[in-house]
Amino acid sequence: MMPSDNGAQEGLVSGFDLILGATNQRWSVVPSQVAPCNAACPAGVNVKAYVALTAEGKFDEALEVVRERIALPGVLGRICPRPCEEKCTRARFDGAVAICALKRFLADYELRRGGRYPKRLTPTRPEKVAVIGSGPCGLTAAQDLARSGFAVTIFERLATPGGMLVAAIPSFRLPRDILKLEIDNILQIGIEMRTGVSVGRDITIDDLFGRGWDAVLIAAGAHSPIGLNVQGEQLAGVEDALSFLRSVNLDGKAHGGKNVIVIGGGDSAIDSARTALRLGAGRVRIFYRRSRQQMPARDYEVEAAKAEGVQLHFLAGPRRIVENQGRVAGVEFVRMRLAEPDKSGRPRPVPIEGTEWVEECDMLIAALGQKPDLEFVQGQEGIEVSRWGTLVVDPESLMCSRPGLFAAGDVVSGPATAVEAIAAGHHVAQAIQAYLTGRQNLASSSCAPFLPVPFEVVPEPSVEAKRVPVPERDPEKRARSFDEVEDAYSASQAMQEASRCLMCGSCLECRQCINLCDGRYAVISFQGAGLPGLVEPGTLIKCWRPALAESGQKLEGEVLLSAQDGAKQAKATIERITAQVDEALCIGCGICEESCQYSAVKVEYRIDASLIATVDSGLCRGCGACVAGCPTGAINQFHFSNEWLRNALESCADTVVLYCGWLRAAYPEAFEKFRASLAKDACFVQVPCAGRVGASTLVWMLARSVKRVMIASCSNKLCRYGSSEALDRAVSLVKSLLELLGLNPDNVSIVSAETDFASTAVQSGKEGWLSR
């Protein structure tokens, strides 16, 4: 049933009713459920989609999905705290899918195959944006803004860009070449990076506005350590974790203590301890005032540190630092007990008086947390500092009280994770764009009509499958080296791990259908994704997931199509066009094998030694060249059968135009002009590819009432499927037949894209469409 103009639709849009007589109407795909992993990701990465794409070996596409929201996939693939994995449905059964490791695999895989060369973008807008700070937030915002056409300059105080990523995260967790490469990739699109420029000292925010920057984003992070606040803090051998890590990471400090005590329970405590170990410490101990359960550090980081030999001591609060000749010699601790929860929800540690004891050490690292370092903006116009030492911004516009001055990331939120910083970066980029263009802020809550249905049904794994272990180096050996601890999955491991995904919800929102359709059947838009587009009603949406076609789980691919005015809704089953073989008809002649451009069709022996064609649905792209060539009609296209084609042609007028959907999508104006040049009653029938039109179809038409057949086709050079040669052969065969019959061979003709459409196409700048 097709959605009609006069009322709501019922049933499924089967896909092919619509090609004849379709009307223009806006539709968007509304995924009916949102998977927990997608909902959990602060940066809004479409986790389910990239995991599913990885499972199918579509690594490039998967990485594209990650990159939509994360500009540093290789970095986040290593250091992300993985909130998605916590919410993974499979975690309730046999362990969450190793989502983060998959992301890392994707990035590494691309790198191994030659990396990425982003195209340089030229600013298309006159406004300039200055970003202070080159951490994940600043980089993300800069990239989003540069992509929107703004000229962006990043000011970085340090000599190396990366913010916390480069200053605080040790290289055994995040190799510096990966970080540098991914930052370079971002900068390559045309972002200017000025390192070693300290805003506040070398240039002020006023200067920036004065020198022509229209908007300034403060994304300076939280680099000021929170002190121990005990006696002896100034002694030699006492360092805060940030300075310690920065001096190791940036200045190449090579010596630490021999007997090191780290105070704190967060990630930087763990990083400091593991770094101290690598600098040659014989003994590294972490003291934390609460117990193991309350440690903010990730479990897997704690476990890795323990495996390397770091000792952990709990319920120990520092009282004072023991001095020996101006140097630290030890720490006096007091035993703590846990009392009722405080405001943070964690139990409050209370000292037990009289339980003090001293632990010896020659180096003390205090890792008690950070806050923004706001000295550089002190006294500037529009700066307001909260009582937590963070910048105050308007929650809607993300602007400080000075127009054009924005702030985001740790400097606003206080110390948070890299993925949260990325989320903030996207958010503020939207806000800046809205401010500079005078449009409504798309990110603000006032225009968010998309309310996902929360995920309810829990799919259960059919077979127990433990997580594929992430390859990791031996703790004994790695504890002494700054080489990376973890290794990436291999491609097969990644596919195996990704296939553990239970694919919660319905549509994957991988948007591969957009690529698959590209205007042939539909231009699909996803609500909430901000991608505009047109879908003709009753349009066939194709999903690449072969599982849908094979397992009969058609409902899994069901999505709602809703008109953009929200008045109408229709369900569409997402299925993919692939060739299918009817075993009863196949004679195993092998013509399909020869005609297939993708080696998707093979003729194989059956058990009874007879031959049969089989289609690898993963390789098949549904062009239909094999269908056109099949002498027995045994091979057919899922959703696009010969019967359909013949039914569509049954009531056709004297003139029939079979047209390639790609052609029409690429040259819409020229195509309409062509349509107008023909008789009004000419019947236009869209086929996936003109190569789908076989000789028998043409002859079949001519043997009925059709007098003239035109096939609007891409030329061989432009053909997306490469099957236009097959069309040429079919047409010349039919012409020969017509000649034999004494009929006019020109009754069948090909209207070529190059001769009839190309000039218009070049004008509209869309020639690239077809050549990819």
Partner 1 sequence: MTDKKEIERLAKQMRVQACLDCRKCEEVCPICRDNSEFSPQAFVKLALSPQPERLVSSGLLWACISCGLCRSACPDEQTDFPEFVRGVRETFVKTGQEPPFGHRGMVSAVGRLQASGDLSQKRLSWLTNATKTAESGDVLYFVGCLPYYDVIFSERIKKRLTQIALAGLRLLNSVGITPVVLPNEVCCGSDFYWMGDRQTAQSLFAKNAELIRRSGAKTVVVTCPECGSMLRMYPKLGYDHGCQVHYLADFLRKLIGPVRLAEKTALLSSCRLAPLLAEDLEGLLGSLFKGEVHSLADDLNKPVCCGTGGWLRSDALTRAMQDDLLVAAMNRGYTQLLTVCPKCRVHLGFAMRPEAWRRAELNVEDLTVFLSNNVEKASHGRVQA
| Contact positions vs partner 1 (CB under 8 A) | 583-591, 603, 605, 610-612, 630-634, 642, 694-697, 699-700, 702-704, 729, 733, 736-737, 739-743
Structure tokens at 736: 């020969």
Q: Is 326 exposed, middle or buried (0-12, 13-18, 19+ CB in 10 A)?
A: exposed
Q: How many CB atoms lie within 10 A of CB 186?
A: 20
Is the alpha carbon torsion for 157, 163, 168, 171 positive or negative? negative
89 in helix, strand or coil? helix
Cβ 742 to partner 1 shortest distance, Å: 4
Nearer to partner 1, 586 or 600 (CB): 586
Comparing C-alpha atoms, which of 454, 386, 398 is closest to residue 426?
Answer: 398
Nearest to 170 by CA among 486, 472, 421, 412: 486
What lies within 8 Å, CB to CB, of 592 at 6+ separation is: 579, 601, 603, 613, 626, 629, 630, 635
Residue 217: closest CA among 124, 125, 141:
141
Task: State the Cα–Cα distance between residues 473 and 115, nearest whole angstrom.
Answer: 25
Task: Provide the residue type at 219 as one letter.
Answer: A
Shortest distance, position 733 Cβ to partner 1, whole Å: 6
Measured in degrees and rounded to the nearest 5, phi and psi for residue 313 equal -130, 135
Closest CB to partner 1 among residues 54, 697:
697
For the bound state, the minimum distance from the C-beta of residue 650 to partner 1, rounded and expressed in Å, comes to 10
Least distance from C-beta 692 to partner 1, angstroms? 13
Binning the chain into helix, strand and coil, the percentages to the nearest 5 are 35, 20, 45
Q: CB nearer to partner 1: give 336 or 628.
A: 628
Strands (DSSP E) contained in 654-706 are 655-660, 683-687
Residue by residue, DSSP assigns 185-219 as HHHTTT-EEEET--BTTTB-HHHHHHTT-SEEEE-
Toward partner 1, which CB reaches closer, 11 or 590? 590
Q: Between 421 and 702, whose beta carbon lies closer to partner 1? A: 702
| Residues facing 571 on adjacent strands | 12, 560
Q: Which is nearer to partner 1, 316 or 649 (CB)?
A: 649
Cβ at position 700, least distance to partner 1 in Å: 5
Q: Which is nearer to partner 1, 307 or 612 (CB)?
A: 612
| Nearest residue to 135 via CA among 443, 425, 428 | 425
Nearest-approach distance from CB 653 to partner 1, in angstroms:
17
Q: Are strands 601-605 and 611-615 parallel, antiparallel or unpaired?
A: antiparallel
Helix (H) or strand (E) holding 38: helix 36-40
CB nearer to partner 1: give 476 or 583: 583
Nearer to partner 1, 339 or 611 (CB): 611
Q: In the complex with partner 1, which residue's Cβ is closer, 9 or 642?
A: 642
Q: In Å, how far are 241, 372, 671 from 376, measured between CA atoms?
A: 22, 11, 60
| Shortest separation between residue 418's beta carbon and partner 1, angstroms | 56
SS3 366: strand
- Shortest distance, CB of residue 716 to partner 1, whole angstroms? 18
Minimum CB separation from partner 1 for residue 737, in Å? Answer: 5
* Smaller CB separation from partner 1, 253 or 729: 729
Q: How far is the CB of 117 from partner 1 (least distance, A)?
A: 42
- CA separation, residue 520 to residues 19, 79, 523, 539, 708 (Å): 10, 41, 8, 9, 24
Minimum CB distance to partner 1 smaller for 196 or for 590: 590
Nearer to partner 1, 293 or 651 (CB): 651
Identify the sign of the CA torsion 182, 188, 192, 196: positive
The contacts found for 445-450 with CB under 8 angstroms, 24 or more apart, are: 445/396, 448/528, 449/527, 449/566, 450/30, 450/527, 450/528
Minimal distance, residue 433 CB to partner 1, in Å: 56
d(CA 434, CA 406): 12
Rounded to the nearest whole angstrom, what is the least distance from the CB of residue 188 to partner 1 in the complex? 50
Minimum distance of partner 1 from residue 697's CB (angstroms) = 8
Within a 10 A sphere around the Cβ of 296, how many other Cβ atoms? Answer: 17
DSSP type of residue 362: S
Place of tokens 């594209």: 64
Quote the CA–CA distance of 657 and 651 in Å, as a whole number. Answer: 13
Nearer to partner 1, 376 or 700 (CB): 700
Q: How far is the CB of 730 from partner 1 (least distance, A)?
A: 10
30 Cβ partners below 8 Å, 6+ apart?
450, 526, 527, 559, 560, 561, 562
Q: What amino acid is encoded at 559 in this protein?
A: V
Q: How far is the CB of 586 from partner 1 (least distance, A)?
A: 6
Closer residue to partner 1, CB minimum distance, 342 or 604: 604
CB of 633 to partner 1, least distance (A): 5
Nearer to partner 1, 3 or 588 (CB): 588
Distance in Å, CB of 706 to partner 1, minimum: 11
| Beta strands 655-660 and 683-687, pairing class | parallel
Torsion of CA 469, 471, 477, 480, to 10 degrees: -100
Give the residue with the Cβ less far from partner 1, 330 or 588.
Answer: 588
Task: State in angstroms the smallest separation of the CB of 761 from partner 1.
Answer: 32
- Cβ proximity to partner 1: between 512 and 697 the closer is 697
Distance CA 554, CA 559 (A): 11
